[in-house]
Structure 1
């Protein structure tokens, strides 16, 4: 007679696997190797320099700085937050200091593992799926760019979706708790663009589940689940009311609040200029980077090998030392975006399994996933598909 491990044991093993992978991947940095300080991080350090210096000197928090745009509130650039339950839970998932990039990878893995378990995937396969998700190139491209809050909110996204699915499929209490907790954590990190995309995914899931509930004549439990989820959403928003309200209040006076001064009237909107918003639009043919990473060349500041013709040319013209410096930061990208730190690459194996699974597995969820995939790709085209954008 077999004694299979309990679900808790499986989850503990999965967590140990994820921690081992994260430690192994970031071991050079943890062993003293330094990561280049991201540009956004350097800008942030400049923004808070006056605030940091004052608080060190006076041991008193300030809510205004004179060094940004002639003066502005500090609540979006490191305003002190009193410790509370949500902050403490967030600090468990999102570590500080040297361990922080490691915690991003760990959060990607855990978040998607929760999603796959919610969808009924076996823990062993959930581990593999979580690894495939976490090692998509984009999730690593944004780390050296300094997009920390984006990385964190992306990490929480799958858990929110998993919670919603559990609630809609009858596990209302567990699903509602998971949804409320991880949505609150996502909103806390204040990258509302990713929260907006999360809600789009949930909305499409809700529509497909409604059709399924109608066909199976279980509309009453469906609407009860929706009611419970709405309570979870309201509580998640209420627990972050301070964050959301200050963002809303400040947004009206920031670049996202529109301007009376416009060089091009056709570029004017109620918020950011269209040219800025769509500056990082994926080219239609650039979508092939999901399968072929360097389909459009790679990074705007990528490196070449010493075997490249570029190195040989500069080596002959200026010497090896100069050539080595030049090939470190070459403009390899030739797509339609303003610039890019790297392509969005999902992986040939993952794409093959997606197509294979869509054909072979007769599940209603495949149409939801296909709809989401097509919608996400078309949204990424931005200015190249303004009908949707």
Structure 2
């Protein structure tokens, strides 16, 4: 059995965290605990606006703007804190600030819905570790069991957060799809094995509890974006090996109708130098991945080629990968190579490329542009495949609302650090 699936961590390289960083991290943790919305019995969030409370729409907008600004500022500080003050990171932080500013009109609208929509269940606990929380985006129409997308957000394994999936969650829920955005520990709070464990626990919660929220446990789709695509693929493979070995599990690979990988990386020996050139320094990346000897262990494309786990590979669901051809953060060749490997092993897999699209076009700029975009339509068509009535209904929907003016989207694309 390959080391990818071993639980023995005696040889694991743990990250060194200076005392000054630990103090700051504790301070941030206290701040997050103070800001985290608490739920009363019955799951009602204290952020909800009760009838007759006197909260006006402008007050709600100001509150959502305040949370968004604090979150962006905190993320910029954390990136500087943990990733160093090198030239590339300083320019990257400045570019990130400009990028966020240009997308702010859209982020503000999405943020307001995230905090105040009655159809979002935030901070549902799925495990006993820090950040073992998930958000559920529920359709307004609750008739009949709905398909589910268990979504794992990206963030370079460092700044991932479940709210990053709110735009996707809001839009898919309009198409009668439940979306579960799974949070997980980031580095340095955890390393890659911790992230995979967290995501697997989140998937287990979805599989075993989604029926209580109107979901169909037989129509679950696993999806990840960027680093989240990699973590989700690792969790899926780990589960397949456990099932093939006859281990007792809390969820089954057979419950996944398909895996969707958006702009992911799957072969790290081939990508580590590229990440280094992009600013994710090799030494830092190796600490995240628990040492150079673990790069192959956490590279799904390499793991599936192990002849000792062919029986596990045969259990994998259809694997559908989406990628933009102008993705400079993770080149589209990464998805192409993984699909070719899967196909050579007899796994049903498909690669869908989007000409001229960058790492963030498919996930942020295009959805904020409104109207119809190819990736979203491909996703919905696959999830509702076989339901001609639903597809006809959604085809008649009016185009989605534009969230950001076109000139700001073009500027954001030009300054994007991703």
Q: Same fold (TM over 0.5)?
A: no
TM-score (norm 1): 0.33
Decide which structure has greater helix share: 1
Which structure has more relative contact order (CA 8 Å, sep 6+)? It is 2
Q: Could you say which structure has the larger radius of gyration? A: 1
